[in-house]
Amino acid sequence: MGFAGELTTIGLPDVFSNVAFGRLTGILTVTERDRRARIYFEDGMVRAYAGIAERTLDYAVLALRANAAPVQAVRDAGRRRRRRTLKEILKDTPGFDEARYDAAIAAAIQEELIILFNWRRASFVFDEVRPAEGEFDREQMGCAIALDPQAVVAEAARRADEWDAIAHRIGSDRDVFIAVGAPPEEESSPAVQRLLERLDGTRDLKALIEDMPHGRFHVLKMVTDLLERGLVQKATAEQLRELAARAEAAGDANRAAAHCEAVLELDGADSETRRSLIRLYVQAGRRSDASKEHKRLARAHEQAGDLNAALACFEAAAELAPYDLETLERIADIHDGRGDREPYMRAGLRLAEALTSQRLHEEARDVYRRLLEHDSESVQLREALAATYAKLHEPRKAGRELLGLASRAMDRGDTERALHYYRSVLAVDRDCDEASQRIEELESRRVRHRRRRIRRRILAVFCTLALVAGAWWGVREWHAQGALHAASRVALAGLTERPSEEALATAVEAYANVARDYPGTAAADDASETVRFLLTDALWRLRRYGPEETEAADRFLTRLNRTQLPDDLKDFWKEARERLLAKKKNS
């Protein structure tokens, strides 16, 4: 059973009254063009509501506005909510007021129902059925909601009568109002006091409605009443600027920024206030908001034709938000339109890198292609394009780019770089025969070059050693010749006239030292020959000694025995001395 019709024929108040009078249970569906709302009635009372998707109820916000639960408990419940409703979770927390929570949900549903009374060209269908599971929000179905349709109709009618007065005094939800007085204490209510506290010039009417728990109509009605009593007035831009300056002087950057936002709602072309707002955002650490304001300022400069100022603002926005794709793209477009090749290349590369960081590889690929149209020889761009192809799972295209880079590296004679590119090709496309063949050729060529370099290094080492040895030997020979000349001077000094055994022994020692200290040199050979000559001469002298000269001969022999002669001279002297001694013994 059920009924249907058009609201142009049967008004929604009559539909609500019929359902309430008949204590019907069912679902009323109201449709106007692409909008649809559904209401569940149970025994003639409104039990749940499902409106358009853009106006879904935020139950956590409703709970906070109604003070139905502690703030932290509501936030924790919102994070823990999976299959359980917010109310089911809050029931387990201390300080939860279930009746207040249900009343807040019911009031929010009533506000949504009153909006339906403004649908003029709508149709309706009432089906006497109970809703299926999940057809209405479980949050509402779990609350004790029982709205009287007659009360909803009466409230809608009352508001319809008062809307004209409200609209006459309040023009837009974007208007900003400030409190300039307070009503007498006996005439004030907690709602009015809360409203006056929030009329501080930091929020417009839309934000004020969202911050108050009373709904749009009640908030606007209270503001209208206060306006009529002269306790509230519409703020001017100059008043808001003064409030912003005071807040900034007090060190409250967020509050000052809110006042500047209100100024811009009144005068969006006020560029000076927008710059102040940017500065306040930065002071408050709100870099993202500052970047957005820089972009708005940049667009204003663009519309005025000042591209240099627009670029400066976009660059400032990019510095605050380095991965804002819209900003980076606009910077690149402006440089491209002006023909600034180098700045355009830098901006395009930065845009492509930002796209890649956000895994927008297709867009990054298109940007790299456009950049290559301006600089087809850029190795960096082709490497980045090849990497993007690989991330897009296009190995053939990635391999083609890398093969081109490898070919250019070979043309420059950079075989190591070419080998790196060929290996990169195989990393993305294992079936590339060209890359495999090139790697094999380069590897074998590199082995041959390595062997050749090793042979050259060995030969260079040998040549170096030979040069060092020759130089060392020449120095040694020079020192040996010097020592030989010194020994000759000693010998000549003692043997010039009639040589004595002492002078002869000194000369032998001097030449023997040269032969011992510099073996293998020409000077040592000359010294050895001289020592042999002197020893032979000494033996000839000793053979002529008579008995009276035996003591002098013994001293000579003893000194020569202590002289450190080279081995060959020792043998020569030993053998000659033994012959001499034997001959003297026999005589």
Average pLDDT of the chain to the nearest whole number? 81
Confidence band (pLDDT; 50, 70, 90) for 278?
A: confident
Distance CA 62, CA 214 (A): 10
In 3D space, the residue among 586, 489, 574, 585 whose CA is nearest the CA of residue 539 turns out to be: 574
Confidence band (pLDDT; 50, 70, 90) for 545?
A: low
In 3D space, the residue among 117, 143, 119, 141 whose CA is nearest the CA of residue 131 turns out to be: 141
Question: Average pLDDT in the 198-210 region?
Answer: 77
The pLDDT of residue 138 is above 80: yes
In 3D space, the residue among 236, 128, 216, 105 whose CA is nearest the CA of residue 167 turns out to be: 216
In sequence order, what are the residues at sequence separation of 6 or more whose Cβ sits closer than 8 angstroms to the Cβ of residue 162?
221
Distance CA 79, CA 88 (A): 14
> What order of strands is seen across the sheet that includes strand 2-6?
2-6, 123-127, 26-32, 35-42, 45-50
The pLDDT of residue 559 is above 80: no
Cα–Cα separations (whole angstroms), residue 354 to 22, 88, 321, 358, 423: 64, 43, 11, 6, 27
The pLDDT of residue 63 is above 80: yes
Q: What is the pLDDT at residue 126?
A: 93
Whole-model pTM: value is 0.53
Kindly report the three-state secondary structure assignment for every residue of 231-259.
CEEECCHHHHHHHHHHHHHCCCHHHHHHH
Q: What is the pLDDT at residue 375?
A: 84
Higher pLDDT, 203 or 155: 155
In 3D space, the residue among 268, 246, 271 whose CA is nearest the CA of residue 256 turns out to be: 246
Confidence band (pLDDT; 50, 70, 90) for 1?
A: low
Reported as a single tens digit per residue, the pLDDT across 400-450 is 888 888 888 888 888 888 888 888 888 888 878 787 888 787 777 777 777
Cα 426 from chain centroid (whole Å)? 30
């603002």: which residue's tokens?
A: 313
Structure tokens at 531: 């020592």
The amino acid occupying position 384 is A
Q: What is the pLDDT at residue 200?
A: 78
Helix (H) or strand (E) holding 531: helix 522-543
Confidence band (pLDDT; 50, 70, 90) for 53?
A: low
Reported as a single tens digit per residue, the pLDDT across 328-356 is 888 888 888 888 888 888 888 888 888 88
Higher pLDDT, 513 or 59: 59
Distance CA 55, CA 110 (A): 13
> Which runs of consecutive H residues, i.e. helices, occur in 81-204?
86-90, 98-116, 138-141, 149-169, 190-198
Partners of 234 in the beta sheet?
177
Question: Average pLDDT in the 156-170 region?
Answer: 75
Q: What is the pLDDT at residue 552?
A: 57
In 3D space, the residue among 99, 97, 86 whose CA is nearest the CA of residue 57 turns out to be: 86
Q: What is the pLDDT at residue 38?
A: 92
Collapse the DSSP code of 360 into the 3-class scheme (helix H, G, I; strand E, B; otherwise coil) and give the result.
Answer: coil
The pLDDT of residue 123 is above 80: yes
The pLDDT of residue 494 is above 70: no
Question: Average pLDDT in the 471-481 region?
Answer: 77
